[in-house]
Structure 1
Amino acid sequence: MDPQYFLSWKAALLFLLMPRGLRCLSVRILNQEPFHVIPGSSLVLKARIELGPLEEVSQVTWEREPETGIDPERVTLASCPGGGPECAGTRPNVRASVEQQEATLQINGYGEAESGVYGVSVTDHAGATATAQCIVRTYEAVHHVSVSVNVSHSTLVCSEAWGTEPRFSWFHERVAVTEAAGRVSGGGATLVWTETPVVCGHFTCTVSNKLGHSSATYTAAPCETEGRGTTAAVVCPVLLLLLGGGLAFVLWRRHRHGNRGERLHEHLDDTV
């Protein structure tokens, strides 16, 4: 009998008889799911391989399939032998490697067609297989920002269509809203206005992410502030004084001209 053939069967038998705790082949993708990628950049996925003391990796395979669909088509992206770090990619922009129980897949020039469910399969020398999956989606810019109001609750709600990782910022009359003026909730999308009993003035919501920002403004009735009341209280008396002074001056001028006419008439009578 061929010694190599005998040893291979012996190894298989030992694996089957091996205590369950020594067979712990598993794999997990380290990227947070869903993983978003900006178009044109590089997609990099990393997977951690866990092996038992007597296990060895014989094959690592990366695949992709659509996230939705009745019968999704699975595409093989790279296949890596367990004995070396280099892997064979199926496309020029695909790179893969296996180093120290960590498998890496890199796709350069990521496009929307690369989105989907990515899977990694690890096979050991005895034929046991472990798999892991990760959803990859395209990083979207911010779109269609709008602001709505609930007047009875002094609440403003900022909405955004489908941008990835949106961040919300609120401004009142072009000044950032502070905690003293309003309370932000709902991940920053909702503003409860607490400075006045009713919503007034101009409120702007700005939504931003890695690809840019967009904003929308809600315009309410003008705010009645103490400064405006004080100004009116000062201006009105001044105007009244000016009007009164002008009227008194006109009356004085008329009275003066009337007296001059009477004196001139009396002087003419004396001369005649």
Structure 2
Amino acid sequence: METQHILVWRICLILALLPHSHQCLSVHFQNKGLLYVAPGRDLVLRAQFQITPTEKIIMVIWDRQTEKGQGQVRLADHQEAPGNPLDQKGALFRVENISSSNFGVYTITVTDQMGNEQSANILVREIVSAPVASLSLQCEVANDRAQWDSPVFSWLVDGVELSNQTANLSADGRRLYVSGMKGHNYTCVVNSSLGTSVTYYITDSPTPSQSNQFWKIGILLAIIIVLLITCGYLSWKCVQRRTTGTI
């Protein structure tokens, strides 16, 4: 009995030391977990494989089902063939002009030559509204000299200093998000133990206040011209009347 136990133990030990290639097979998406796409746009899913040198992917299957796990649909079934070898590094799946019926959970299943399978899934949801674009100015200073303190950044727009309450600034103050702002002259002031540095950014278009001034000046000039023409015409008529009466 003792000899039998020793034999079983040795067999288990040998099996434990044997390589299990199927445990090395894995697949994952570059975008993990969740992906948003707008209707009418293209969806591109990229999956990457991890295999040992002795393994080989012989089949790749793509499925889609609803977010609640209902209505699974087979989308594609790619099998290794002499004239059509599979990419051993990864797979790509594309849906053009995506619609409401294309949203859900996408699953990729890969199979190696030993029949081992591994799967990965990703949830594709419809985005309700496009993200808001933002434009920013970043203020930088060369950090090639040792100093004991960190630089402090201040921003002015058309001579008026900004704060976190009046503008959208980054946490360190380096970046100013100018979306929605109507300034003309942007100034960044950097203060530290090394001194003070100032840089400017001037837009080509005038500020609304300057535009209003231009409009006011233009209207005033137009009024003056009209008055001059009217006065000149009236003066000419008076001269003509006097001339006609004299004759």
- For this structure pair, what is the TM-score category when the shorter chain's length is used for normalisation? 0.3 to 0.5
TM-score by length of 2: 0.46
TM-score by length of 1: 0.43
Mark the structure with the bigger radius of gyration. 1
